[in-house]
Amino acid sequence: MSHDHDHTDPPADIALRVKALESLLVEKGLVNPAALDAIIETYEHRVGPRNGARVVARAWTDPEFKAALLEDASAAVAELGYEGRQGEHLQVVENTPELHNLVVCTLCSCYPWTVLGLPPVWYKSAPYRARAVSEPHSVLAEFGTHLPASTRIQVWDSTSEMRYLVLPMRPAGAEDFDEEALQSLVTRNAMIGVEQVSMPGRG
Amino acid sequence: MAQLAESPSLPRDEEGPVFREPWEAQAFGLTVALHKKGLFSWEEWTAQLSMEIARAQRQGDADLGDSYYRHWLAALEALSNRKGLSNSDELASRTRQWREAYLNTPHGRAVELSAGLDGRRGSSED
């Protein structure tokens, strides 16, 4: 570096824009810095796909919970302590040998945050948003998911009012697994519907 | 997972960090905080965000998910403007002030906004 150390290199313009907006909103009393930190901490570290995995494993092992989940998912997951922050409804859609569910948000990236955390990059991308609807079979194939020809695919387009979580099929061979072991099998991608849940080592 | 890397059209990621840079987290947190305070509804937010994403695509953004928080910030600035929470003049001036604060702060010291000038138009050399 040719320059001396009498200044600090400013961050990128986009980061300065965020700092500008944040400092103005804090000054106006519209945002509380401690509340802001708490929100970021929550979504960075505490809310993630493990919440959804717990919901799925419970549904696989507890028929009453499963029935309640399919009837009113928002209420059922709230019982586990996961509540929607944006006032959205959650619907759980169950995979069966005849029907495979796939979730997308064609317009932006509506996503069941409370049970899956924040969406992965590919979920937010235009190719996924478009192709999940127009050619779901080839999207699934790119994720390594090959369904029998007899399985129908249903695509669910999320909105600001309605989010979807896929209840995958419990894999064959996991009959003896307890709830905790089952949780570890459930992936984020399976709960979006681009993959199925598989046994370890058979991925 | 090998075949996934061979499909160029779908960007991939592992279950890594949810934000790639700190400003993405700040922009996200601000939006949730303003919504929680009741300053806009989530429907208004997603409508604005969808609009920014569509606009960026029309302007040639490949929209592979990596530019997502840029659209997010543009939507937040626009919605804040529309709701009277901030406006583009004060945002531009405050952005300049922060840049100057960095340039005026010796390396290694904490950067305070007051180290920048008051953000008057034309006060910056860059």
The domain spans of chain B are 40-86, 87-120
**Residues in chain A with pLDDT < 50?**
1-2, 203
Contact across the interface for A43 and B30, Cβ inside 8 Å? no
Closest CB to A127: pick one of B9, B29, B54: B9
C-alpha count within 13 angstroms, C-beta hemisphere, residue A52: 32
By DSSP bridging, strand A89-94 and strand A162-167 are parallel
* Three-class HEC string of A109-169: CCCCHHHHCCCCHHHHCHHHHHHHHHCHHHHHHHCCCCCCCCCEEEEEECCCCEEEEEECC
Instruction: Please count the residue pairs, one from chain A and one from chain B, whose beta carbons lie less than 8 angstroms apart.
Output: 191
Contact across the interface for B19 and A107, Cβ inside 8 Å? no
**CB neighbour class for B44 (10 Å; exposed up to 12, middle 13-18, buried from 19):** middle
Closest CB to A20: pick one of B29, B70, B95: B95
Least confident of A110-114, B24-28, B49-53: A110-114
Taking the C-alpha atoms of residue A93 and residue A164, their distance in angstroms, rounded to an integer, is 7
- Chain A residues with CB-CB distance to B35 below 8 A: 86
C-alpha count within 13 angstroms, C-beta hemisphere, residue A126: 14
Q: What is the ipTM of this complex?
A: 0.83
Taking the C-alpha atoms of residue A199 and residue B10, their distance in angstroms, rounded to an integer, is 25
Is the pLDDT assigned to residue B13 strictly greater than 60?
no
Predicted local distance difference test score (pLDDT) of residue A202: 56
CATH number for A49-192: choose from 2.30.250.10, 3.90.330.10, 3.20.20.370, 3.40.50.300: 3.90.330.10
**CB neighbour class for A187 (10 Å; exposed up to 12, middle 13-18, buried from 19):** buried
Contact across the interface for B26 and A107, Cβ inside 8 Å? no
pLDDT digits (tens, 9 = 90+) for A68-127: 999 999 999 999 988 876 667 999 999 999 999 999 999 888 899 889 988 888 898 989
At A6, list the tokens.
Answer: 């009498």
Is the pLDDT assigned to residue B4 strictly greater than 50?
no
**Dihedral sign from CA coordinates of A15, A21, A24, A27:** negative
Taking the C-alpha atoms of residue B122 and residue A108, their distance in angstroms, rounded to an integer, is 37
Predicted local distance difference test score (pLDDT) of residue A5: 66
- Reported as a pLDDT band with limits 50, 70 and 90, residue B15 is low
CB A86 within 8 A of CB A111: no
